[in-house]
Amino acid sequence: MKEPYILVASFILSLSIAASGYFIEQGLESRNYFNRYVSVKGLAEQPVKSDQAIWQLTIAYNANDLSEVYTGIANGQEAIKAFWVNQGFSAADVNLQPTSVNDNSTYNANHGLRYTAQTTLILTSTDVDKISAASQQMNILASKNILLNGSSITYSFTQLNNIKPQMLDEATSNAETAAQAFSKNSHSHLNGIRNASQGQFTISDDNNSGMSSITKKVRVVTSVEYFLKD
């Protein structure tokens, strides 16, 4: 009477052992599958033209009389505003910064002229070509005896969001091309994305002069991991 029960128990035990072996095998295959992947990077670069420019002009005026200093600075500001307006810009685009005045006698007994005043004017425009052309006419200000302490133009590209999707598609496509080449050389095939990160967009000047340029280079590198299968 006990033999049938023994046979049934043995059969169930055999099935359990077989099932355990199957699931262990599947687990090992799954683990091996998860560990088989390739990491690649995809690059996308695009030249762009700046769409905004900020031009800063700093002027100075020296005199022994304080009221003359302020008058000289005010005249300089009006001359620069007139110069920019004559170059085709709007006076509303010009921003006047506060004027700083130093009493030179406080620091040096042999100070020469007692007061030195300095101020900055800022012109912001989306017409970058006009800014560039006007910057070549600085001799006009020199002819009006305007003492310039500095001039700088910063060009920038502000429409990054408009080109992000296209560049990400290109970078991802280049990453997949690199992964395909690897899988071919390793006699395997790609089997989906394991992980991906966008990377950071950078905008740099398209020159080596160290100065801000109208043309820029936008760059992004994506990192992608692809599963591999035989």
Q: Give the chain's mean pLDDT.
A: 84
144 and 169 in a common domain: no
User: 99 and 187, same structural domain?
Assistant: no
Calpha distance 221→174 (Å, rounded)? 10
Instruction: Using CB atoms within 10 Å of the CB of residue 193, give its burial: 0 to 12 exposed, 13 to 18 middle, 19+ buried.
Output: middle
Residues 6+ apart with CB under 8 A from 31: none
Q: Is the same domain home to 80 and 132?
A: yes
- The 10 Å CB-count burial string (b at 16+, else e) for 147-165 is eeeeeebebebeeeeebee
Question: What is the tens place of the pLDDT at every residue in 51-75?
Answer: 999 999 999 999 999 999 999 999 9
Token reading at 38: 């390739």
**pLDDT for the residue numbered 212:** 86
Range with the poorest average pLDDT among 10-19, 115-124, 152-161, 210-219: 10-19
13 in any annotated domain: no
Q: Over 50: is that where the pLDDT of 228 sits?
A: yes
Domain membership of residue 23 (yes or no) is: no
Yes or no: say if 83 and 140 are a contact pair by the CB < 8 Å rule. yes
101 and 185 both lie in a single domain: no
Structural domain contains residue 15? no
Domain final residue pick, 156, 176, 207: 156
Structurally, how many domains does the chain consist of? 2
The domain boundary, picked from 156, 176, 197, lies at: 156
Taking only the tens place, the pLDDT of each residue in 125-184 is 999 999 999 999 988 988 888 889 999 999 999 999 999 999 999 999 999 999 999 888
Domain end point (choices 114, 141, 156): 156
| Residue 12 belongs to some domain of the structure | no
Phi-psi region of 145 (alpha: psi -120 to 50; beta: other; left: phi over 0): left
For 23-27, 47-51, 111-115, 136-140, which range has the lowest pLDDT when averaged over its residues?
A: 23-27
Considering only 53-57, 97-101, 110-114, 117-121, which range has the smallest mean pLDDT? Answer: 110-114
Look at residues 227, 230, 208, 226 and name the one whose alpha carbon lies nearest to residue 217. Answer: 208
In a domain, 129, yes or no: yes
123 with 207, same domain: the answer is: no
- Alpha-helical (H) ranges within 36-65 are none
Please give the pLDDT value at position 14.
45
- What whole-number distance in Å separates Cα of residue 133 and Cα of residue 89? 12
60-97-114 Cα angle (round to 5) = 30
Enclosing domain of residue 211: 35-48+159-229
